[in-house]
């Protein structure tokens, strides 16, 4: 029997901006959106080499791709970034706030500087970019925004002092934006990944403690960046046209368990 491959064009003619889209989860999201027809701008702080490599892969798919360098914690730089993307590709239809990072540090020993870095790098960056883009989206009465939080937003992780609070605040910000911007035709949702690692990359040997925890997840494996990307693409697409203010937790079922804490 002949097998038919269905190629999705959900984002044909649309412009997407993916922060941190050069590597890891962000790269998978950028590639997923480009694969479904979007022209994509990816933003990194400094790693232009990784960003250009991802952009080249998107161009090979026949898409337009733009690489932008910007520190998303700087409001003036963010305003210039949005203008650069709109001048280069056109009005932004889809924004994915993926840039962020964790840093270990129990609360009793966490420095004030580390606290500020994690809160600002995960939360303020999401706020600044979302507002700058939503101001443009509201005049067109359309737009979809997806914020990447993390399973740590929904269950606390010992020793991850500022990260859980920062990501929990991203969840709250997602709901806040969804309520304030619904009347402007802008949907805002979020995805919370659990442990995400490239299969076959040998990460288990480098991160032994995490590998042990992962073995106790209901699905007993780490997730793939593409598994997060597909959830993000759904929420960005018209398939989710009646969904706003929601979090999709992509974590192998870990958030529902009590037996993970060591
Ligand atoms: N990987 C996981 O297991 C996991 C689990 C739960 C949640 N998450 C969340 O998922 C997202 C992606 O994680 P990942 O592990 O794929 O990240 P990653 O590989 O470390 O990549 C992070 C990207 O974000 C960019 N970035 C960070 N801060 C930035 C800033 N201030 N301005 C501009 N760009 C900035 C980085 O650019 P440069 O390289 O140029 O600095 C890089 O391209 C993050 O929000 C993370 O918290 C990840």
Domains of the chain (ranges plus CATH)?
A: 15-254 (3.40.50.720)
Question: What one-character DSSP code corresponds to residue 2?
Answer: P
Closest Cα to atom 36 of ligand 1? 20
* Ligand 1 atom nearest residue 69's Cα: 33
Extract the tokens encoding 178.
Answer: 């969804």
Q: What is the pLDDT of residue 7?
A: 81
Q: What is the pLDDT of residue 115?
A: 96
Q: What is the pLDDT of residue 3?
A: 72
CA of 131 to the centre of ligand 1 (A): 20
Q: Which helix (H) or strand (E) holds 146?
A: strand 143-148
- Bridge-partner residues for 187, per DSSP? 144
Q: Which helix (H) or strand (E) holds 209?
A: helix 208-214
Pairing status of strand 39-44 against strand 94-97: unpaired
Give the residues of the chain that fall short of pLDDT 50: none
Q: What is the pLDDT of residue 108?
A: 95
CA of 98 to the centre of ligand 1 (A): 6
* Ligand 1 atom nearest residue 22's Cα: 43
- Bridge-partner residues for 188, per DSSP? 145
Phi, psi of 70, rounded to the nearest 5 degrees: -160, 140
d(CA 119, CA 186): 25
Could you tell me how far CA 84 lies from the centroid of its own chain?
A: 20
Ligand 1 binding pocket mutation candidate from 24, 50, 69 (most atoms within 8 A of CB): 24
């Amino acid at each position: 029997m002949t097998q038919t491959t269905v190629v999705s064009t959900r984002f044909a003619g649309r412009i997407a901006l993916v922060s941190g889209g050069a590597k890891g989860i962000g790269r998978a999201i950028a590639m997923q959106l480009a694969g479904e027809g979007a022209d994509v701008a990816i933003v990194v702080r400094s790693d232009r080499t990784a960003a250009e490599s991802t952009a080249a892969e998107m161009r090979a798919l026949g898409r337009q791709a733009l690489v932008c360098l910007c520190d998303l914690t700087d409001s003036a730089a963010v305003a210039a970034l949005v203008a650069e993307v709109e001048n280069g590709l056109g009005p932004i239809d889809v924004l994915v706030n993926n840039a962020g990072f964790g840093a270990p540090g129990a609360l009793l020993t966490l420095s004030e500087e580390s606290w500020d870095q994690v809160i600002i790098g995960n939360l303020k960056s999401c706020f600044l970019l979302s507002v700058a883009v939503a101001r443009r989206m509201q005049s067109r009465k359309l737009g979809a925004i997806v914020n990447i939080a993390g399973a740590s937003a929904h269950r606390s992780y010992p020793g991850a002092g500022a990260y859980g609070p920062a990501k929990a605040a991203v969840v709250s910000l997602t709901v806040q934006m969804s309520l304030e911007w619904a009347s402007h035709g802008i949907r805002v949702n979020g995805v919370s990944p659990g442990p995400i690692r490239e299969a076959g990359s040998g990460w288990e040997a480098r991160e032994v403690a995490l590998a042990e925890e992962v073995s106790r997840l209901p699905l007993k494996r780490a997730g793939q960046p593409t598994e997060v990307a597909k959830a993000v693409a759904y929420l960005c697409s018209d398939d989710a046209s009646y969904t706003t203010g929601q979090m999709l937790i992509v974590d192998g079922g870990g958030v529902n368990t009590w037996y993970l804490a060591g």
